[in-house]
Amino acid sequence: MSIALKQVFNKDKTFRPKRKFEPGTQRFKLHKRAQASLNSGVDLKAAVQLPSGEDQNDWVAVHVVDFFNRINLIYGTICEFCTERTCPVMSGGPKYEYWWQDDLKYKKPTALPAPQYMNLLMDWIEVQINNEDIFPTSVERDDNQDVSLKTTH
């Protein structure tokens, strides 16, 4: 495994978002509902439909974080086989090559080895997920004294 990947996939650091769904919150309940529907063989179109009475932003946030976590698991299983030597290009097959641009270090689209591209991508996504301006939340108590996450609009 490359040095960069060893630094990323060590026991002290992971790609998983720092913020998880707290048990007892509305987003935790939505997360469990989404997991149950996806694991039950239900039609995917029906599984991702907004449940009646739920906030659309909360529902989308739950799915974004779940998708990110699933991609982390998949990537974690293959990253040791994709090194800068074995995967010198980030591609989507022979016809598509992905270049990185972030307006910080890479101001212009730049070809990178796949592991480096993936590290930058996963770090960028994690920052977005943990950005309160994009996924704003505050913990409030409802009438039943349950802790619930309310999205501020």
13-17 CB contacts, 8 Å cutoff, 24+ apart:
14/72, 15/68, 15/72, 15/75, 15/76, 15/122, 15/123, 15/126, 16/69, 16/72, 17/65, 17/68, 17/69, 17/126, 17/129, 17/130
- Residue 79, annotated as binding a ligand: no
Residue 80 and residue 5 in contact, taking contact as beta carbons nearer than 8 Å: yes
Tokens representing residue 24 in the block = 């007892």
Name the binding residues for Zn(2+): 82, 87
Name the binding residues: 82, 87
